Structure 1
Amino acid sequence: MREPNRVLQGGILKFMKSTAAAVLMVGLLTNFAIAKSFELPESKPIVTITLPDAWEPEEIAKGVQANSPDTGIYVAFEIGNVKNTDKVVLDGVKFLAESGVKIDPASEKRGEGKINGIDMIDINWTGDYDGKVAKVSLTIAVLSPTKIGLLTYWGSPSAEKKYAAQLDSILKSIQPLGQ
């Protein structure tokens, strides 16, 4: 009687292993299939960024933008010139204000780091959007001696937690072309 059980157990284990492998493959393929990569700037691409398809990313004049499905998060990535870095940042702050995002200047924090070999400078604040608390940031990515990228972001603290994995993936997807 023990022999049939071993055969049955072996069959179940093989089935479970093959099912787990299939589920893993479908999961991996789905993750790749549900995101769209953009090469920027359009004229002479030097960087890529990937945004979730569910966020309905769309190209804009100097880059790309997207909203989370529940509109709790907004992100944009635009290309600018290094010589106009101050103007790019001021335009970013102006865009926030025009979009209804109010930042609290006293909450400003700055940080620096590297992602995929790209120097990043992050300026973030707490603020208000649509009468609710918002986390806001402008992240400057030094892409070349002449080009920068500006990652603009705002969202509610609860949406930030809900979409933490997607936000991390978006940031980590910023890659110089050829790497």
Structure 2
Amino acid sequence: MKTLLAAALMALVLPYSSQAATLLFPSDTPVASITIPDTWNPEETATGIQAVSDDDAIYFSIDVAEEKTSDKVIEDAFAFFEENGITIDPATQKESEDKFNGMTMSNLDWSGKDKDGPVNIGLSFVAPKPDKLLVITYWGTKGEQEKHGPVLMEIINSLKPAK
């Protein structure tokens, strides 16, 4: 009976569990770590990491900047949006702040459009160390991104300063 119950529980749990990679980035001199499901195909970039949900509904990246390079990283994020055909509606800008893992995250969010229709767009800023800034770029398809909410929150809540 116990074996049957354990098998039934595993059958319920396994489809919802997935392998995840904890990434220290940048790999040569880590500033932070984050855990991202393997199905999101996380990869290191020249300035941080990026990942895309398995259904392409969400793209996000985290770029590491220093105070003197933070303006360039932010400019690059807006250039990335433009290169990918994302238009931002400036009238929809919202600002907020969150605290997690001993860090404060400042957020700028907008509505906009890409080639597939309406999207949510965001830039967030987190300082894992006094001399470093993480710039988080987010772009999600409205109506599709919502199903990834719990996983996205797990990803963001896993972001920690490197030790």
Q: TM-score range by the shorter chain?
A: 0.7 to 0.9
Q: Is the 8 A contact 1:83 1:146 kept in 2?
A: no
Change (3 A) 1:93 1:23: same
Change (3 A) 1:25 1:70: closer
Can you list the C-alpha shifts for 1:84-122, whole angstroms capped at 9, x where unaligned? Answer: 333322221121111211111111111112121111111
- Let me know the Cα RMSD of the aligned residues: 2.2
- Give secondary structure in 2 for the equivalent of 1:74: strand
Q: How many residues align?
A: 163
- 1:95 is matched with which residue? 80
Q: Is the 8 A contact 2:128 2:160 kept in 1?
A: no
Percent of pairs with identical residues: 33
Does 1:41 find its partner at 2:26? Answer: yes
TM-score norm. by structure 1 comes to 0.81
Structure 1 segments, 4+ long, off by >3 Å, are 14-28
Quick one: which amino acid aligns to residue 171 of structure 1? I
- 1:67 is matched with which residue? 52
Tell me the CA shift for residue 78 of structure 1: 1.3
Does 1:176 find its partner at 2:161? Answer: yes
Can you list the C-alpha shifts for 1:110-158, whole angstroms capped at 9, x where unaligned? Answer: 1112121111111110000114000000111111111111111101122
Gap runs ≥5 in structure 2? none
As a proportion of its length, which structure holds more strand?
2
Tell me the CA shift for residue 15 of structure 1: 4.3
TM-score norm. by structure 2 comes to 0.88
- 1:166 is matched with which residue? 151
- Give secondary structure in 2 for the equivalent of 1:158: coil
Which structure has the larger Rg? 1
CA distance in 1, matches of 2:30, 2:53: 25
